[in-house]
Structures are given as structure tokens and as C-alpha cells.
């Protein structure tokens, strides 16, 4: 097994999970995950070993996913299926129904709000970091997060 | 009106972004307003739910074969289109020479008698000190294994920038370090109680990490002047420089 394959195997679940939630589509998430690792390969020379590989890979992955998602969305809009959502939420019997509801509600968020919510409340990034990664201002990040939380609470109430 | 203002602050309140004064204001209001308390509880439940979602999700199939094929295609394309200036090739030769020195040092280091490498006289370490050092060595060696895997991948990513001859020299020297690591691991397997061996193992790992880092840092690409020179000078003259 090559060293890069080792790194792929150590990080693929995290990259795929993020791709899936940001893209809301299983096939697209597979393509995005591949894109992330190919891009990582191309840019490996910029990894200096002064941080963990995952810390280096993660912002790169978000950039690739957001960039590709935007361009692909323009080309073909796909509809997220119930089966897709069940997959990301895992087997129903092993998880509370609330979690599936939350996954479904997240998937229905507008793209910008979903992205910020995932990065902030699921992945745990701060607004400054999100601003750096996505290119929006910290103020926009906060506004989108506020919107996402409001929409999610409304969706979960109904 | 007051409820509306407080609810507008709740996001920042739960995120810990409010000033102390604003925090007190929100808390005072929550103490007396049930509707806003419910809003606060609902928001916190949402955040708890978000935090409990799995951040990792395995893809439905192994994506590595497709990625590997795409990388192979990339490498092929990159080799065919990337010119390597003789000056850059020369720098790589210097880097390879440095690697050789480091690799030899690693081998010499681990073949030295432990007493000549470890300055500590016998009996100066208590059993507790000994155990603590031994544990630290084990942890350090594991950290280096992880770091080496990452750096090796990075090296693989840029090996095409080096001439085939230089790649061979570097690979050979990395192999020497790997041999040292294997020998040390085998010695430790046979005699796990000797922490001098673990110190040597960590030293060998350090050498490998240092070598790979150096390879990644020798990244002076051909400057504009290099390329200008390339255009102005015949190839034979450039070789001499």
C-alpha cells in the first residue's frame, strides 16, 4: 500500500461525509471525494509536514467541494432522494428518529446556509475560519448561520 | 419588543460570543420569560443534535482504484509537460548528497554501541524514570511513524520534479534508513526492555522525517532569471553554469 493510499484510507470517511452533506447526493459525493484526493495529490508538495495531514487536507477539501459543487449545480440539478438521506443518517434502528429528521432538514436548507451550518455547528469551525476557507466575510457567515438555525428549528417543529 | 431583541442575541449567546454585559442582559431576561427560555432550549437542542451527527461517513464503494488511476494519468501528463532546468537538476543532486550524509549518519548512529550513544551512566535512572522514558520513547516512535507516512506521501507527490537519477539516489538512501528502522524494530522485538534501542529508533525516525522534510523544502523552482537565461544561452553553456 502506498503512503498516499494510507492517507486516503485514514481520511476518506471524513471527506466523503462532508462531501455528502454539502452536495446532498451520493453519486456527486463520490465524484467530489475523488476530486479532493486528486487535488491533494497535485498539491502534496505544499504540505510541509509542520501540521497534521488532516489539518492540511481539510480546508483544501472544503474548497474543492464548494468550488465543484457550485459549477456542477449550474450544469445539472439533482434531487436528493429519501434513500440518500436514509443512507447518511444510517440504519434507522441504530439512530434516533430525530437524527434522521435533522439530516433531512439540513438537506433542505438553501445551499449557502447549509454550508455554513455544517461547517460551524457540525464540523466545529469558527466564523473567521469559515470566512478564510469559503471566501465569505465573517459577518455573512454569522448571518447565514442564524438563518440556517432558524429554518432548521422551524422545520423540526413541524 | 424586548423578547425580539433577546431572541436576536440568542445565537451569539449560545456560541459564547456576547460581551459580559449583553450576557447578563440575556440571562436576566431568560430568568423571567418562559417563551424565550423555550427558544433558548430549542436552539440548544438543535446544536446538541448537530454536534451528535457523525462527521465521518464511509463511501458506498472503494474509491481508491479510480483515484489511483486518475493520479497515474496526472503523473504521466506532468512528466511529459514539465521541463527540468539543469540548474534545478543540480540543486536536486546536492539535496540527494545531503540525504546520503544524513542516511549514513543514521546507520552509523544505530550501529554504535549503546553506551557510546547514551551518555547516562548505568544506575543513574530510577525504575520509575526508566519506565517513564521507555513509555515516552514508544509514544515518540509511534508519532514518527505517522509523520513519516504523511511526508512519504508528500515526497511521492513531487518525485517527478526530480531527475530519474536523483530519484534513484534518494530512494536508495531512504531505503538505508528504512533498513535501520527494521533492524532496530527487530532488536527491540527481541529485547523490549532495552530503552536505548528505543532511543536509537526514535533517532532513526527523526533522521527519516528530517530527510523527507528537507526534500520537501528544497523547493526553489527555476526563477524567472533561470528561464530568461534558458532562452538566451545555448543549452551547452547552461550545463556548464
ipTM of the complex: 0.77
Judge contact between A65 and A23, C-beta under 8 A. Answer: yes
Across the A:B interface, residue pairs with CB atoms under 8 Å apart total 132
Q: pLDDT per position in chain B (241 positions), as tens?
A: 589 999 999 999 999 999 999 999 999 999 999 999 999 999 999 999 998 888 899 999 999 999 999 988 877 776 555 555 555 555 555 554 444 444 444 444 444 434 333 334 434 445 555 555 556 666 666 667 777 787 788 778 777 777 787 788 888 888 888 888 888 888 888 877 776 777 778 778 878 888 887 777 665 444 433 433 333 333 344 334 3
C-alpha cell at A72: 456542477
Q: How far apart are CA B49 and CA B89, in angstroms?
A: 55
Q: How far apart are CA B241 and CA B237, in angstroms?
A: 7
Nearest to B11 by CA among A1, A52, A147, A61: A147
Kindly write down the DSSP assignment for every residue of B185-199, as one continuous string: HHHHHH-TT-HHHHH
Note the pLDDT of residue B225.
Answer: 39
pLDDT of A86 above 70: no
Note the pLDDT of residue A153.
Answer: 94
Note the pLDDT of residue B103.
Answer: 44
Note the pLDDT of residue B241.
Answer: 39
Note the pLDDT of residue B186.
Answer: 83
Q: How far apart are CA B33 and CA B129, in angstroms?
A: 59
**Cβ B53–A102 below 8 Å, yes or no?**
yes
pLDDT of A121 above 90: yes
Please check whether residue B65 touches A, CB under 8 A: no
All residues of chain B having their beta carbon less than 8 Å from the beta carbon of residue A157 are: 42
Note the pLDDT of residue B107.
Answer: 43
Please check whether residue B32 touches A, CB under 8 A: no
- C-alpha distances (whole Å) from B183 to each of B11, B39, B107, B174, B193 are 58, 64, 10, 14, 16
Judge contact between B117 and B109, C-beta under 8 A. Answer: yes
The arithmetic mean of pLDDT across residues A123-152, rounded, is: 92
pTM attached to this predicted model? 0.57
Looking at beta carbons, which pairs linking A137-140 to residues 24 or more positions away fall under 8 Å? none
**Cβ A117–B55 below 8 Å, yes or no?**
no
**Planar angle of CA A65, A66, A72, nearest 5 degrees:** 85
Of the ranges A19-28, A140-149, B76-85, the best mean pLDDT one: A140-149
Note the pLDDT of residue A34.
Answer: 95
Q: How close B100 comes to chain A (CA, Å)?
A: 21
The arithmetic mean of pLDDT across residues A143-156, rounded, is: 94
Note the pLDDT of residue B65.
Answer: 94
- Return the minimum-mean-pLDDT range out of A8-22, A28-42, A76-90: A76-90
Note the pLDDT of residue B92.
Answer: 53
All residues of chain A having their beta carbon less than 8 Å from the beta carbon of residue B161 are: 45
Q: A56-72, pLDDT tens digit by residue?
A: 888 899 888 888 766 65
C-alpha cell at B32: 423571567
Note the pLDDT of residue B33.
Answer: 93
Please check whether residue B49 touches A, CB under 8 A: yes
Radius of gyration (Cα) for chain B, nearest Å?
29
Note the pLDDT of residue B9.
Answer: 93
pLDDT of A152 above 90: yes
DSSP B222: P
Note the pLDDT of residue B197.
Answer: 76
Note the pLDDT of residue B227.
Answer: 37
Residue A37's Cα: distance from chain center in Å? Answer: 15
Q: How far apart are CA A130 and CA A125, in angstroms?
A: 6
All residues of chain A having their beta carbon less than 8 Å from the beta carbon of residue B47 are: 121
Judge contact between A19 and A32, C-beta under 8 A. Answer: yes
C-alpha cell at B53: 451527527
**Planar angle of CA B105, B107, B112, nearest 5 degrees:** 95
All residues of chain B having their beta carbon less than 8 Å from the beta carbon of residue A45 are: 154, 157-158, 161, 216, 219
DSSP A50: S
Amino acid at each position: 500500500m502506498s503512503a498516499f493510499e494510507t492517507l486516503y484510507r485514514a481520511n476518506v470517511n471524513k471527506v466523503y461525509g462532508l462531501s455528502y452533506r454539502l452536495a446532498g447526493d451520493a453519486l456527486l459525493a463520490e465524484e467530489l471525494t475523488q476530486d479532493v484526493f486528486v487535488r491533494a495529490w497535485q498539491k502534496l508538495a505544499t504540505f510541509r509536514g509542520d501540521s497534521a495531514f488532516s489539518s492540511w487536507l481539510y480546508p483544501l477539501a472544503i474548497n474543492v467541494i464548494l468550488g465543484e459543487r457550485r459549477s456542477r449545480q449550474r450544469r445539472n440539478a439533482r434531487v436528493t432522494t429519501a434513500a440518500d438521506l436514509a443512507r447518511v443518517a444510517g440504519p434507522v434502528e441504530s439512530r434516533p428518529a430525530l437524527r434522521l429528521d435533522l439530516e433531512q432538514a439540513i438537506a433542505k436548507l438553501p445551499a449557502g446556509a447549509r454550508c455554513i451550518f455544517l461547517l460551524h455547528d457540525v464540523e466545529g469551525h469558527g466564523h473567521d475560519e469559515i470566512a478564510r476557507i469559503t471566501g465569505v466575510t465573517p459577518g455573512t457567515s454569522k448571518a447565514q448561520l442564524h438563518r440556517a438555525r432558524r429554518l432548521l428549528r422551524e422545520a423540526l417543529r413541524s | 419588543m424586548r423578547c425580539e431583541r433577546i431572541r436576536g442575541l440568542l445565537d451569539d449567546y449560545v456560541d459564547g460570543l456576547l460581551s459580559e454585559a449583553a450576557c447578563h442582559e440575556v440571562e436576566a431576561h431568560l430568568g423571567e420569560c418562559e417563551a424565550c427560555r423555550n427558544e433558548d432550549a430549542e436552539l440548544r437542542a438543535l446544536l446538541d443534535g448537530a454536534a451528535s451527527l457523525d462527521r465521518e461517513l464511509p463511501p458506498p464503494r472503494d474509491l481508491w482504484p479510480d483515484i489511483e488511476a486518475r493520479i497515474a494519468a496526472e503523473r504521466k501528463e506532468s512528466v511529459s509537460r514539465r521541463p527540468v532546468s539543469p540548474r534545478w537538476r543540480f540543486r536536486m543532486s546536492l539535496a540527494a548528497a545531503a540525504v546520503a550524509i544524513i542516511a549514513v549518519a543514521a546507520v552509523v548512529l544505530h550501529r554504535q554501541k549503546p553506551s557510546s550513544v547514551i551518555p547516562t551512566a548505568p544506575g543513574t535512572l530510577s525504575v520509575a524514570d526508566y519506565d517513564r522514558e521507555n513509555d515516552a520513547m514508544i509514544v515518540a516512535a509511534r508519532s514518527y511513524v505517522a509523520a513519516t507516512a504523511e511526508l512519504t506521501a508528500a515526497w511521492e507527490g513531487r518525485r517527478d520534479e526530480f531527475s530519474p537519477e536523483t530519484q534513484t539516489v534518494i530512494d536508495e538512501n531512504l531505503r538505508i534508513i528504512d533498513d535501520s528502522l527494521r533492524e532496530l524494530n527487530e532488536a527491540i522485538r527481541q529485547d523490549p526492555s532495552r530503552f536505548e534501542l528505543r532511543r536509537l529508533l526514535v533517532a532513526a525516525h527523526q533522521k527519516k522525517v528530517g530527510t523527507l522534510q528537507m526534500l520537501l523544502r528544497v523547493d526553489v523552482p527555476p526563477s524567472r532569471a533561470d528561464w530568461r537565461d534558458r532562452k538566451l544561452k545555448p543549452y551547452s553553456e547552461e550545463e556548464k553554469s
